[in-house]
Chain A
Amino acid sequence: MALKIVKGSIDRMFDKNLQDLVRGIRNHKEDEAKYISTCIDEIKQELKQDNIAVKANAVCKLTYLQMLGYDVSWAAFNIVEVMSSSKFTYKRIGYLAASQCFHEGTDVIMLTTNQIRKDLSSPHQYDTGVALTGLSCFVTPDLARDLANDIMTLMSHTKPYIRKKAVLIMYKVFLKYPESLRPAFPRLKEKLEDPDPGVQSAAVNVICELARRNPKNYLSLAPLFFKLMTSSTNNWVLIKIIKLFGALTPLEPRLGKKLIEPLTNLIHSTSAMSLLYECVNTVIAVLISLSSGMPNHSASIQLCVQKLRILIEDSDQNLKYLGLLAMSKILKTHPKSVQSHKDLILQCLDDKDESIRLRALDLLYGMVSKKNLMEIVKKLMLHVDKAEGTTYRDELLTKIIDICSQSNYQYITNFEWYISILVELTRLEGTRHGHLIASQMLDVAIRVKAIRGFAVAQMATLLDNAHLLTGNTQRNGICEVLYAAAWICGEFSEHLEDPMQTLEAMLRPKVATLPGHIQAVYVQNAAKLFATVLRKHEGETDSHAAQETSQLLIDRLPLFVQSANLEVQERASCILQLVKYIQKLQQKKVEVAEEVTALFAGELNPVAPKAQKKVPVPEGLDLDAWINKPPSESESEDEKPKAVFAKEEPKHSRSRHTEVDEKELARRREARKREQANNPFYIKASPSSQKVYDAPGVEHIPVVQIDLSVPLKVPGMPMSDQYLKLEEERRQKEKAERKKEKKKKREKRGKERKADSGPESEEDIAPAHQVDIVTEEMPENALPSDDDDKDPNDPHKALDIDLDKPLADSEKLPVRTHRPEVLKSPAEDRVNESIPQETKKRSGKEKKEKKKGKEKDRKRSKEEKKKKKHKEVEEELLESHPEEAVQSEETKEAATPPTSTSAEASELDFWLCSAPVPPAAQEETAPSSAAAVDTSSAAAPESEPDEPKDAEPEDTKSSKHKKKKQKKEKEEKEKKKKKRHHHHHHHSNAGGEDSVQNGTVEEEEPLPPMSNYFLLAENSYIKMMKEDADQVYDIQGNHQDESKVVVSVIFENKSDSFLKSMEFNVLDSLNSKLQRPEGAGAHDSLTVPFQLPPGISNEAHFVFSVQSIVMPQKLKGTLTFIVKSDESSTHEKLDFKLHFTCTSYLITTPCYLYDAYAKLLESGDLKGSSLRLEGINMPFHHLLARICFHHHFSVVERIDSCASMYSRSIQGHHVCLLVKTSDQTVSIDAKCDEPSLLGNVLDEIKQTFSKC
């Protein structure tokens, strides 16, 4: 044994280590492969040894060889062995090798689960660290599932080094095991506020990654990120957050408004270019999201453009590049602000850096207008000539075509110019984009009828000079243009001056060297030309020419008949026979031209790319319905062919259907024609399109006489330049003419095509030629649907998970139960808490939970309606008093309902709608303006005091105005709906400092005592539960003297009879009145809008108007109802007392800034009072949570055992508490601007704590 060890270590001395291997490879440059293969043999031997050091050394060498491209997966098992070494040195080597070569397909990965788990819980932080790093590279769905819980535990590790790694790796775990996202998310969120900046940065990183793919689920984190953004000094974190905001703003424009100010400040203040750049980027994103329906943010745009110009002008190429990149984003929404920098961008086209030139090209695309198109293209053409390297030249070519053809040739005023540009582009050698030019030629020739004559002439020249293009047919993509040329010449051969010459050119033997599909087009179009020639000569007495043509074809076509290409062969032989037959007829002096032309009669119109897809399913046709009864399962195999048939059937029925509807069709066609006729740019091609040419009102447009010389033969000056000159001359002439005929013009212009509203007053630029652009054909009634382009394989799709929903028991991460849990996290405690409870109890609880869920839904919808109304009021207010905007927002703050049900949604809304005042300003304005509101709005006239308050808003309220509003907010509503929120989370997201304290509270808080409902009254039939007045609304934010309180009552049927005709009545007091529908008397009762079957409970809401809120109120009430059993029905009644506590008039209002709070306290407007509680033996954070929960306070600041809290009444009274505790004694010092309110609230707090 000992000998073996000694032998092992001696062996090791002779083993190659990594350095030796590298040296060896460097010394064997000539026969590297051979040397490496001997090394691999050695490694294989080493791996067979027992000595782990030898193995580790071998694995280390393998890692190196892997980098050189050698597959080392055969050693996967040895890698696992080395990973499981107890020594850190070897473990690290093993994990490194694994991270380099393991992947989901590696089968030994499943052996590693336990080893990794062991390493994760190792007492040495570096063992854990190495395991986390390795795992991050090769985590599989199985590993993710099995280890998610262990990693989640590590997120709360004591060492920040481990915490940050654990946080980061969670992203990989989420990707592989999406179910883990929801259970882990609360802790991840917590880590956003980790004291260690590294951990915080990691958490930001992960959430940003998640949010980038599914931004809508993370909108609710916006306040938290906003806080981080305004407080963090770490540029890395800032950049990530700012990028994240860029992704969020499109979903929530209000967020954008809030962001602009701090971002602009950052832009002005930061010295870090990276941060500045990201800020500019996000501001741009904000501006894009706001661009619709926002007053101009021209200052922000100017700032951005100005900063970007500085970047572009910088000598640092990187900044220049990024500046251009960001500029192109602005271009989309604010083209004008970019267009003024055209000079700069054109300058960048000359940059030596290709990346920069490409970016500048991108920008140019968006900058063209009718005015500058020719000029810009000319510049680009110059670059095409100068360009070195085909990639950039090809890029230029595609850009030229893109620029010209964009928005349906919107910017082209002279199509002859465009055709000559295309022809010039054919001179490019070695371009890959021949087909692109070809398709443009085809498109323009087909759709712009007026240009056909010119196009055909040009194409004929191209065909004639085809040899210039086809120097090297195999490699040269440019010969594709011949395809277009041949087709255009054939199809529009009536425009040809000398069809015979073109025909001759198309039948040259050289043509046979072209690619097959082009030859096929040649042959087909030769036949078309033949038809044209025949017709031309038919009129003449001398039939000699016609016969000569036939002979030419008969002579030349056999060459194509021999073609190896099937299609060429087929077409050629077909046409050859046809021509032979015609020749026979010609010899008999039969007139054939008419019939031959008929072969090619009819117009070919372009079809829109997606036309086929968009054919609508005709009404009454159900494509899924069976036409014949489905065959029985057993015979399915035999029946298959029939089923295929059945599927095709619908097409037939459809065509029949359309035939039947001929009238309807004709009518629609008419309508479409009319529509197109009215559309200036889409004048439908009518057979008399040429007449449009000399239609009245166009004659003053000077039609340029163009020298039709062959562009390819023009030496020196390129053709298109002529047009540029001509265009300039024309424009000048036109200007002069216009000055003369200013009066005439006005009437004529009406008839003239109105130019599309481009920038730079483009109406002035009239097109040189009257053109009709034929639209691409679409089926009638085409569906405007757009296809969903999302990739179904995107792993991020699985992570589109609602994070705000409460966690269900089933959602916890799998925990291995047979293993003693060493590190038990508080979260686990919480999750496991319910387990020891009796199952009976639990199921009962679950039931209740469900019930509550339902109620919540209902409440939410109601609440939203109210909010809408509230907003309406506020908007009116905003319109009339814009200067009071800040104030009204303050009142809104006061009015925002604090209900736990939709707390998250409303808190986000609340956060978003509070004015975007910079922190410094807020400090000053917050308390004072709040005070001002009280006075100002109290003085405001009560405009609609008698508006019926909706006790059952679902039924009674439906004004038109509201409906409109509803539509508008539908989206928002849906968003909110998704944000169902857990009951006890409701304070946590306020975004203020309180979230820290309350956040921790949540974790340890035992929930059951925090119930919101208490018994109101009960008898043998029915039980009434009232929600603990958590439902306070101020529907009319401005009418402080009469506030509304909504009371939710649950009615539960305890009997086994049916309860119906329930009527709810309350004896009004002077101060509090039940809101009854309009027209009802002061003592009439309200009908409860539902009936209760046995055992069922339901909830109803009643609105009370309250005048003074400084005193608690008690109202006596009665519920009457009919108990209906099988045999009998009896009238019953139940008395109850409604108790309105002062607490119920308080609204949880987060106070973000301690400074503002302090100012408020110092202001001296508040009167103090205090309270001592003895014998409280609960943790301080529990105490705070109770006050928060039951009395609607929020924590402003907490220092050790002392906390300041804040709340506000629905009438705007500030209530501030200073809570201190020292062994079992709690003292509360309170201040409020209404002493009696304060006294009552304090009494109530005392009561709350005396109960427990």
Chain B
Amino acid sequence: MIKAILIFNNHGKPRLIRFYQYFAEDMQQQIIRETFHLVSKRDDNVCNFLEGGSLIGGSDYKLIYRHYATLYFVFCVDSSESELGILDLIQVFVETLDKCFENVCELDLIFHMDKVHYILQEVVMGGMVLETNMNEIVAQVELQNRMEKSEVSDQ
């Protein structure tokens, strides 16, 4: 199970948060801060797994993250997930974003948080991996966007 997906920038500003277990808002912010603190002090050439993070999870949970330019993509997962698999999944997610936004950058995420959520919803659902095939994800996202557009033009 994936417990949370956090995207924040190099300064710890959240760009997308998605918890699959309920935490109150202030707790969510604390978790983001703690996670940022843990992740940001790590060099880029060290491994992408991190144990600890006392606020979220416990011994069974791991933080698996990737650092792209200005953004950290952090997945908090339990032991039922394959570590390397989740790393691949982050890659798939980022590549999907890249396709959907055409050369994605932090600004896209800043101004289109909702769209990023919709894309994420096609990848992970309720903490479980839904789809890993990028073409399938992109196709579904585009179909929904088209539907949205047709509704707008109806007006």
Contact residues in B for A132 (Cβ distance below 8 Å) = 125
Which of chain B's residues has its CB closest to A63's CB? B114
A201 to B125, CA, bound (A): 13
Contact residues in B for A278 (Cβ distance below 8 Å) = 82
Task: Give residues of chain B (3-58) contacting chain A, Cβ–Cβ below 8 Å.
Answer: 14, 16-18, 20, 22, 24-26, 28-29, 42-43, 45-51
Contact residues in A for B26 (Cβ distance below 8 Å) = 69
Contacts A168-B130, A317-B47, A352-B43 given: A88-B144 contact, CB under 8 Å? yes
Contact residues in A for B133 (Cβ distance below 8 Å) = 198
Contacts A69-B25, A317-B45, A352-B46 given: A171-B126 contact, CB under 8 Å? yes
Interface of A is mostly: helix
Contacts A104-B22, A133-B125 given: A236-B84 contact, CB under 8 Å? no
Task: Tell me whether A67 and B113 are in contact (CB under 8 A).
Answer: yes
Which of chain A's residues has its CB closest to B50's CB? A355
Contacts A137-B20, A274-B84, A356-B47 given: A18-B113 contact, CB under 8 Å? yes
Task: Tell me whether A22 and B129 are in contact (CB under 8 A).
Answer: no
Contact residues in B for A100 (Cβ distance below 8 Å) = 18
Q: Is A1170 an interface residue (CB 8 A)?
A: no
Q: Is B143 an interface residue (CB 8 A)?
A: yes
Task: Tell me whether B49 and A321 are in contact (CB under 8 A).
Answer: yes
Contact residues in A for B16 (Cβ distance below 8 Å) = 67
A301 to B81, CA, bound (A): 24
Q: Is A16 an interface residue (CB 8 A)?
A: no
Q: Is B102 an interface residue (CB 8 A)?
A: no
A999 to B119, CA, bound (A): 36
Task: Give residues of chain B (53-79) contacting chain A, Cβ–Cβ below 8 Å.
Answer: none
Task: Tell me whether B132 and A318 are in contact (CB under 8 A).
Answer: no
Taking the nearest CB of chain A, how far is it from the CB of B129, in angstroms? 6
Contact residues in A for B46 (Cβ distance below 8 Å) = 317, 352-356
What 1/0 flags go to A48-87 for Cβ under 8 Å of B? 0000000000001001101111110000000000000001
Q: Is A89 an interface residue (CB 8 A)?
A: yes
Task: Tell me whether B82 and A66 are in contact (CB under 8 A).
Answer: no
Task: Give residues of chain B (120-155) contacting chain A, Cβ–Cβ below 8 Å.
Answer: 121, 125-133, 136, 140, 143-144, 147-148, 151-152
Q: Is A1021 an interface residue (CB 8 A)?
A: no
Which of chain B's residues has its CB closest to A106's CB? B22
Contact of A355 among B49, B126, B127 (CB under 8 A): B49
Contact residues in B for A165 (Cβ distance below 8 Å) = 125, 130
Task: Tell me whether B126 and A236 are in contact (CB under 8 A).
Answer: no
Task: Tell me whether A353 and B125 are in contact (CB under 8 A).
Answer: no
Q: Is A528 an interface residue (CB 8 A)?
A: no
Task: Tell me whether B111 and A19 are in contact (CB under 8 A).
Answer: yes
Which of chain A's residues has its CB closest to B148's CB? A89
Taking the nearest CB of chain B, how far is it from the CB of A847, in angstroms? 43
Which of chain B's residues has its CB closest to A68's CB? B14
A93 to B115, CA, bound (A): 10
Q: Is A938 an interface residue (CB 8 A)?
A: no
Which of chain B's residues has its CB closest to A317's CB? B47
Contact residues in B for A1153 (Cβ distance below 8 Å) = none
What 1/0 flags go to A94-137 for Cβ under 8 Å of B? 00100010011000000000000000000010100000110011
Q: Is B101 an interface residue (CB 8 A)?
A: no
A243 to B80, CA, bound (A): 7
A1146 to B141, CA, bound (A): 55
Q: Is B117 an interface residue (CB 8 A)?
A: yes
Taking the nearest CB of chain B, how far is it from the CB of A323, in angstroms? 11
Task: Tell me whether B25 and A66 are in contact (CB under 8 A).
Answer: yes
Taking the nearest CB of chain A, how far is it from the CB of B46, in angstroms? 4
Contact residues in B for A354 (Cβ distance below 8 Å) = 42, 46
Q: Is B83 an interface residue (CB 8 A)?
A: yes
Task: Tell me whether B147 and A133 are in contact (CB under 8 A).
Answer: no
Contact residues in B for A322 (Cβ distance below 8 Å) = 49, 83-84
A656 to B8, CA, bound (A): 67
Q: Is B94 an interface residue (CB 8 A)?
A: no
Contact residues in A for B28 (Cβ distance below 8 Å) = 69
Taking the nearest CB of chain B, how far is it from the CB of A160, in angstroms? 10
Contacts A67-B14, A278-B82 given: A209-B114 contact, CB under 8 Å? no
Q: Is A205 an interface residue (CB 8 A)?
A: yes
Contact residues in B for A69 (Cβ distance below 8 Å) = 25-26, 28-29
Q: Is B110 an interface residue (CB 8 A)?
A: yes
Contacts A69-B29, A126-B143 given: A318-B83 contact, CB under 8 Å? yes
Q: Is A985 an interface residue (CB 8 A)?
A: no
Contact residues in B for A96 (Cβ distance below 8 Å) = 114, 117-118, 121
Task: Tell me whether B128 and A206 are in contact (CB under 8 A).
Answer: yes
What 1/0 flags go to A321-365 for Cβ under 8 Å of B? 110000000000000000000000000000011111010000000
Contact residues in A for B100 (Cβ distance below 8 Å) = none
Task: Tell me whether A239 and B85 are in contact (CB under 8 A).
Answer: yes
A161 to B24, CA, bound (A): 32
Q: Is A212 an interface residue (CB 8 A)?
A: yes
Q: Is A208 an interface residue (CB 8 A)?
A: yes
Contact residues in B for A63 (Cβ distance below 8 Å) = 113-114, 117
A317 to B67, CA, bound (A): 14
Task: Tell me whether A273 and B84 are in contact (CB under 8 A).
Answer: yes
Taking the nearest CB of chain B, how far is it from the CB of A157, in angstroms? 15
Task: Tell me whether A71 and B25 are in contact (CB under 8 A).
Answer: yes
Task: Tell me whether B47 and A355 are in contact (CB under 8 A).
Answer: yes
Contact residues in B for A68 (Cβ distance below 8 Å) = 14
Contact residues in B for A168 (Cβ distance below 8 Å) = 125-126, 128, 130
Taking the nearest CB of chain A, how far is it from the CB of B113, in angstroms? 6
Task: Tell me whether A209 and B88 are in contact (CB under 8 A).
Answer: no
Which of chain A's residues has its CB closest to B24's CB? A71
Task: Tell me whether B114 and A22 are in contact (CB under 8 A).
Answer: no
Q: Is B1 an interface residue (CB 8 A)?
A: yes
Q: Is A320 an interface residue (CB 8 A)?
A: yes
Contacts A103-B22, A355-B46 given: A64-B84 contact, CB under 8 Å? no
Task: Tell me whether A212 and B84 are in contact (CB under 8 A).
Answer: no
Contact residues in A for B152 (Cβ distance below 8 Å) = 89
Task: Tell me whether B80 and A209 are in contact (CB under 8 A).
Answer: yes
A352 to B14, CA, bound (A): 28
Contact residues in A for B83 (Cβ distance below 8 Å) = 274, 277, 318, 322
Contacts A126-B143, A317-B46 given: A64-B126 contact, CB under 8 Å? no
Q: Is A164 an interface residue (CB 8 A)?
A: yes
Most buried by A among B24, B42, B83, B125: B125
Task: Tell me whether B136 and A198 are in contact (CB under 8 A).
Answer: yes
A137 to B24, CA, bound (A): 14
Contact residues in A for B43 (Cβ distance below 8 Å) = 352-353
Task: Tell me whether A353 and B151 are in contact (CB under 8 A).
Answer: no
Task: Tell me whether B47 and A161 are in contact (CB under 8 A).
Answer: no
Which of chain B's residues has its CB closest to A351's CB? B46
Contact residues in B for A93 (Cβ distance below 8 Å) = 114
Task: Tell me whether B49 and A161 are in contact (CB under 8 A).
Answer: no
Task: Give residues of chain A (175-231) contacting chain B, Cβ–Cβ below 8 Å.
Answer: 198, 201-202, 205-206, 208-209, 212
Q: Is A1026 an interface residue (CB 8 A)?
A: no
Contact residues in B for A88 (Cβ distance below 8 Å) = 144, 147-148, 151
Task: Tell me whether B128 and A89 are in contact (CB under 8 A).
Answer: no
Contact residues in A for B131 (Cβ distance below 8 Å) = 164, 198
A124 to B49, CA, bound (A): 41
A274 to B64, CA, bound (A): 14
Contact of A126 among B49, B112, B147 (CB under 8 A): B147
A100 to B126, CA, bound (A): 11
Instruction: Give 18 CB contacts A-B under 8 Å.
Output: A19-B111, A22-B110, A67-B17, A68-B14, A69-B26, A88-B144, A89-B148, A92-B144, A93-B114, A124-B147, A126-B144, A164-B131, A198-B136, A236-B85, A239-B85, A274-B83, A318-B49, A318-B83
Q: List 6 additional contacts besides A104-B22, A132-B125; criterion CB under 8 Å.
A: A19-B111, A23-B111, A96-B118, A168-B125, A206-B128, A318-B87
Query: CB within 8 Å of B: which residues of A?
Result: 18-19, 22-23, 26, 60, 63-64, 66-71, 87-89, 92-93, 96, 100, 103-104, 124, 126, 132-133, 136-137, 161, 164-165, 168-169, 171-172, 198, 201-202, 205-206, 208-209, 212, 235-236, 239, 243, 273-274, 277-278, 317-318, 320-322, 352-356, 358
For the complex of A and B, list the 4 residue pairs with the smallest distance between their C-beta atoms, beginning with the closest: A136-B126, A274-B84, A317-B47, A353-B46
